[in-house]
Amino acid sequence: KSGFVAVIGRPNVGKSTLINSLIGQKIAIMSDKPQTTRNKILCVLSQPDAQIIFIDTPGIHKPKHKLGEYMVSAAENTLKEVDVILFVVDASEDLGAGEMYILERLRNTKKPVVLVVNKIDKIDKQQILPTISRYADRYNFIGVVPISAKQNTNLDYLVDEIKKHL
């Protein structure tokens, strides 16, 4: 199996950390400063039964300036070319305007979208299900995977979920 996976989410939710953890090397540029990854970065995960190409997709947010506009349209074009979209959210923060904006954009795509609830290491276990519900009430996700990109929690399960849709 092989295919392309776009990783989207507002800045700082852990997209680059997730890709780095999946690939096991530091490739995507990480920073506490949002928008470090200006251009999309491709990383290949090679397994005996699968080749998955992850695209770190910065820039899906309400544009504030011209460069922002360019980045948003580039990011949206990326979504048209992939097989699966991972929508990464931060479990330790509320669903906000950034998430609402992306959910709105996702409605235009006809691609399978997996909800990735990241940073579960920062919240109580009992908070995971309510967090998932808040998002799942607003969009018909093909799958939901709670993870900690930083602590490598559940990443194998996420890869299995992706493979189902390739």
Cβ–Cβ < 8 Å for 14, 90: yes
Determine which residue in the list 16, 57, 118, 154 makes contact with Mg ion, applying CB under 5 A. Answer: 16
- Residue 166 binds ligand GDP, judged by CB under 6 A: no
Q: Which is nearer to ligand GDP, 61 or 141 (CB)?
A: 61
Cβ–Cβ < 8 Å for 55, 85: no
Q: Which does 154 bind (CB under 5 to 8 A by kind): Mg ion, ligand GDP, none?
A: none
Residue 1 C-beta: closest distance to Mg ion, Å: 26
Q: Which is nearer to Mg ion, 15 or 40 (CB)?
A: 15
The tokens of 123 are what? 């919240």
d(Cα 124, Cα 129) in Å, to the nearest integer?
Answer: 10
Determine which residue in the list 57, 118, 131, 154 makes contact with ligand GDP, applying CB under 6 A. Answer: 118
- Positive or negative CA dihedral for 8, 51, 80, 74? positive
Half-sphere exposure of 52 (CA within 13 A, CB side): 26
Q: Which residues are at the interface with ligand GDP (CB under 6 A)? A: 9, 11-17, 30-32, 34, 118-119, 121-122, 148-150
